[in-house]
Structure 1
Amino acid sequence: MQRNSQKISNSANRRGIAVRRIGNLKILWLYYKLRTAGGVQYSAKINSRGPESGLAGCGNFMAKSKKILLVNPLENYSPRKYDMYPSGALVLMGTMAHNKGHSVKIVHQLTDGVDLTELGNILSVFKPDIVGITMNTFQTFHARKISELVKKTDKNILVVTGGPHPSALKLKIFEDFPCVDVAVIGEGEAAFMEIVEGGDLSVIPGICFNNKMNPQRPAAMNLDYIPLPNLNLVNFSRNKFTGAEPVGAYPTMYIMASRGCPFHCIYCNKSVWGNTVRFRRPELILEEIKWLHEKYGVKEIFFQDDTFNLNREWAEQVFNLIIANGLNRNIIYKTPFRVNEKLVDKKLLELAKKAGFWLIFYGVESGNQEMLDKMKKGITIREVKRAFELTHSVGLKTIASFIVGLPGETKKTIEDTFNLQRELKPYFTGSSPAIPFPDTEFEKIVIEKGHLLIYNHDEYCLDKFIVRTDDLSKTDLEYYRLDIPGKLRLSYLKWVLADSFKNPGNIIKRGKKFFNLLVNRPRK
């Protein structure tokens, strides 16, 4: 989703949750990612430019072994010091290109501490044939600077971008990014590999090139081709990638076991994965779990799917395979579930618990039923309460995420949300500003109403309101979102203390965050 994870995917775009003052921006990022992500094939459809560069007009990009530089740009105004996880898109495409004999280098600007000067040095030394830039809407400013730097270094380098933002804007991307040669639309790995392998850019499906949008590439229905991730390409370690908090064990890594979301929430951009849900074969998921644990020492796995419990039979097979192979002994797991009564019950939760799952993420979004209906969430408050009660009853911990500032939001609806937060007693909780991502119904609504306060994507930020509602100004929304009741602060303090005793190295880090939580209470 620019799901999901507002989903914190890869995902996608995938899918994020809690704000800095009741957790930190890592959780909010998670929520964004989750909102913006062979053999027996489970598939369901439920309810369901011309760049001024040395390459302009180029058709076939010469098939040969190539040098490929993949870059994950900084985010706008982000105070984070590290990436939670490696970019899933870059690791996937990097692994596939590496397996084909190409030379691949991956740079995470934030985690690797690479500014434009250092990136210029890398370009001069590595001399890539292709530079791939992944881009969500929070990365536009830095992605543009990178593309300009590449062309300034060598105008013959092919600049390719992909991700939720280009996928939503399509041909419009070239208006804002004149130094980009190719934009990959939707699922990017197949199109990117055709580019790398020397395909004719004028006909490759699923890309925009030379002021033309090529035919759409159908979503991959069989996901068996996804390779085991080569994390050596990103120098993976627990100190480099900190994980989506709360983290139960280190090192932590993620797996995407499915793609797509059949639901129609107004705030989600599903331009990458789409509405058709496709599930990876359980046996291949098991193989990836073993790979991550045995090769990289991973002890916690976050299943970064939109909704892990969407297909019960498939989910049970995954759980049972984990148990049968003893992968619930030294590895723990966490994942998003949906609260709908037909999707979650005690038996499924008990099986998840037995399989080593310790944390379930629920996107609740609001404590007001009218708001849930307006955002087309497709859940009820009763289902929310039931899901949390059942999850806690089997000994699983929960995260409850909420969004503040969607159309129809008032002081009362926000109060309803905070009251529900208290009642649910989640292990971790938080609220994020509603962000009108490109090509979403939410964006169309706020533009039509004149409620969009910022039109420049370079100013979009994960923790910043850029809209108002009929009843509430931007200042009102900021105040009410951060004026969290004391019980929620105490709940967070309880988690801080417990986690610190379990992981003493986190005491100083957590202490600073909780201090900020106490002193940064907004005043109106």
Structure 2
Amino acid sequence: MKVALINPAQLDSKYKFMGVVAPPLGLAYMAAVLEENDVEVIIIDACALEMDLVSVGRQLREFSPDIIALTALTPTIAKALETAEYSKSVCKDSLIVMGGYHPSFNYKEILKYDFVDVVTIGEGEETLLDLTRSLEYDLPLTSVNGIAFDDVVTPPRQLIMDLDSLPLPARHLLPMDSYKLLNMDTKMSTMITSRGCPMQCSFCSSAALHGSKLRMRSVDKILDEMEYLVNEMGIETIAFMDDTFTISKKRVIELCEGIEERNIDVMWGCTSRVDSLNKELLRKMKKAGCITVFMGVESADQQMLDTVNKQTTIERIKDAFEVSRQEKIRTIASVVLGMPGDTHESIKNTINFVKELNPSYAIFSLATPYPGTRFYQQTLEKDLIKVKDWSKYTLISPILETVDCSLDELKKLQASAFKKFYLRPMYLIRQVIMDGPILVKTISGVMRNIMFPAKKNDDVPMKFQKRMVDLD
């Protein structure tokens, strides 16, 4: 059996201006499981390599796969569908499979396109393997849990509880030299140490897909993978992509001590909640190579934080950025503008609050309701969604109107937020000293993609730019 996994090209992304191009770790995990079971696999990362459809089709024609599986997020679904349709035209006998966050929650929408044969729902490693076996041994698709096809939805796939049972991601199938983090001139890779998040913020797609139960890999397995990345693949920077890397302080301390004991020489960054950090932990992390922490600020309005179930306070946000600054660890603040209930005044208060926090970098996203989240359901029921084109769900295009802000006004407020944050004289002086080349590239990206975006035509067919809000 031969399987081609495709990461489709993307349109705009909230990470584009930050100089982030990350490997498709989910596809790499699926490829590893397939290879472990004697399935021949290729990964086509059309996003990282900026491949056009003709180039993708050329590789597919040469490989001649039995299954073509594509992954998709909400803002990439239009490109994924376009790629799927083209793939079917090139490989007419291949089974076209789509999975990922968006298809998992919107499988009815996806199956309306006759060139998509199967949608996988939830975690894909075991599902794709079972699907491959069913095709190989001519078994009915109904024997595979966690899929949808035609008018059939099979029983849900159980979550993989023992993450240590998964092989290391098949990074040897990826163009590892194409990935970068924060415009840094180092060879990087991503990793996960856990799946799921018990906090369940209402806007989080990952928590909606992976559930509230936290499943964690063993520290020894994590350290083994880090050693492999550094010693065998020459990786210099690792980005931990867990929903919340620091959810267990004890485990992070154990991991940091293991990094030191094994003398693993690598820089790394991670995600964190503001209430799961303290000075002792940050000191341990820095000693073990941590250089960057990504934290969700979201809003300066406590009521807004409570509404999205953030389960933290303004004071904890302040404390987290203060101790990070004291320990000289680079911080990235993630902020959401334009939540229902936001006003001109509350948005400006949030922008000023972020300036006072003085993180190393800030990402000002516009509130975006993703399918599968409670936030999506709430905004759908209240008829707050004003944009029905999935390709605009990038966090840098306005989707919702607020109490007194139109879509155009929200876009202007976002551009103003980036301008007020990044063009402060004292900030520029500080960051040039710390991150000269990175800062220049970041500000250039902000200006090009946020503050003064170039006018361009949509580059996906209109039939893929429609969202079916009437689906159950």
TM-score, with length taken from structure 1: 0.79
Residue 132 of structure 1 aligns with which residue? 69
Amino acid at match of 1:464: S
Residue 104 of structure 1 aligns with which residue? 41
Contact kept, 8 Å, 2:415 with 2:451, in 1: the verdict is: no
Amino acid at match of 2:141: L
Call closer, same or farther: CA 1:434–1:385 in 2, change over 3 Å. Answer: same
CA distance in 2, matches of 1:131, 1:422: 46
Secondary structure of 1:138 counterpart: coil
Amino acid at match of 2:190: Y
Aligned with residue 346 of structure 1, among 250, 254, 279: 279
Larger helix fraction of residues = 2
Task: State whether structure 2 residue 432 is matched by structure 1 residue 497.
Answer: yes
Call closer, same or farther: CA 1:489–1:279 in 2, change over 3 Å. Answer: same
Residue 364 of structure 1 aligns with which residue? 297
Residue 142 of structure 2 aligns with which residue? 202
Secondary structure of 1:310 counterpart: coil
* Cα deviation digits, residues 409-437 of structure 1 (max 9, x gap): 11121122112111111111121111111
Secondary structure of 1:322 counterpart: helix
Call closer, same or farther: CA 1:83–1:134 in 2, change over 3 Å. Answer: farther
CA distance in 2, matches of 1:192, 1:90: 11
Secondary structure of 2:331 counterpart: strand
CA distance in 2, matches of 1:294, 1:303: 18
Residue 144 of structure 1 aligns with which residue? 81
Task: State whether structure 2 residue 252 is matched by structure 1 residue 315.
Answer: yes
Amino acid at match of 1:88: L
Call closer, same or farther: CA 1:421–1:509 in 2, change over 3 Å. Answer: closer
What is the number of equivalent residue pairs in this alignment? Answer: 445
Task: State whether structure 2 residue 235 is matched by structure 1 residue 298.
Answer: yes
Residue 10 of structure 2 aligns with which residue? 75
Amino acid at match of 2:300: G
Secondary structure of 1:333 counterpart: strand
Residue 478 of structure 1 aligns with which residue? 411
After TM superposition, give the deviation of residue 241 of structure 1 in Å.
Answer: 1.2
Residue 394 of structure 1 aligns with which residue? 327
Call closer, same or farther: CA 1:427–1:77 in 2, change over 3 Å. Answer: closer
* Cα deviation digits, residues 389-410 of structure 1 (max 9, x gap): 1222222221111011111111
Residue 226 of structure 1 aligns with which residue? 166
**What does residue range 367-446 of structure 1 map to in structure 2 within 5 Å?**
367-446=300-379
Amino acid at match of 2:365: S
Aligned with residue 401 of structure 2, among 434, 458, 468: 468
After TM superposition, give the deviation of residue 202 of structure 1 in Å.
Answer: 0.8
Which shows bigger deviation, 365-374 or 482-491? 482-491
Residue 192 of structure 1 aligns with which residue? 128
After TM superposition, give the deviation of residue 129 of structure 1 in Å.
Answer: 0.6
Call closer, same or farther: CA 1:289–1:444 in 2, change over 3 Å. Answer: same
After TM superposition, give the deviation of residue 495 of structure 1 in Å.
Answer: 6.3
* Cα deviation digits, residues 339-394 of structure 1 (max 9, x gap): 12xx3222112111121111111101011112111222111101111111122222
CA distance in 1, matches of 2:373, 2:398: 17
Task: State whether structure 2 residue 115 is matched by structure 1 residue 179.
Answer: yes
Call closer, same or farther: CA 1:263–1:440 in 2, change over 3 Å. Answer: same
Contact kept, 8 Å, 1:422 with 1:488, in 2: the verdict is: no
Call closer, same or farther: CA 1:301–1:154 in 2, change over 3 Å. Answer: closer
How large is the Cα RMSD of the aligned pairs? 2.6
Residue 222 of structure 2 aligns with which residue? 285
Secondary structure of 1:90 counterpart: helix
Amino acid at match of 1:173: I
After TM superposition, give the deviation of residue 126 of structure 1 in Å.
Answer: 1.5
After TM superposition, give the deviation of residue 147 of structure 1 in Å.
Answer: 1.7
CA distance in 1, matches of 2:148, 2:217: 28
CA distance in 1, matches of 2:252, 2:73: 29
Amino acid at match of 1:479: K
Secondary structure of 1:451 counterpart: coil
CA distance in 1, matches of 2:41, 2:449: 41
Task: State whether structure 2 residue 274 is matched by structure 1 residue 334.
Answer: no
Contact kept, 8 Å, 2:209 with 2:372, in 1: the verdict is: no
Call closer, same or farther: CA 1:126–1:495 in 2, change over 3 Å. Answer: farther
Residue 463 of structure 2 aligns with which residue? none
Identity of aligned residues (%): 30
Secondary structure of 2:347 counterpart: helix
After TM superposition, give the deviation of residue 260 of structure 1 in Å.
Answer: 0.3
Secondary structure of 1:194 counterpart: helix
CA distance in 1, matches of 2:452, 2:84: 37
* Cα deviation digits, residues 435-486 of structure 1 (max 9, x gap): 1111222222322333211123244334211111122111121111221364
Residue 449 of structure 1 aligns with which residue? 382
Contact kept, 8 Å, 2:241 with 2:270, in 1: the verdict is: yes
* Cα deviation digits, residues 12-44 of structure 1 (max 9, x gap): xxxxxxxxxxxxxxxxxxxxxxxxxxxxxxxxx
Which stretches in structure 2 are left out of the alignment for 5+ residues?
A: 454-472
Call closer, same or farther: CA 1:518–1:281 in 2, change over 3 Å. Answer: closer
Residue 241 of structure 1 aligns with which residue? 179
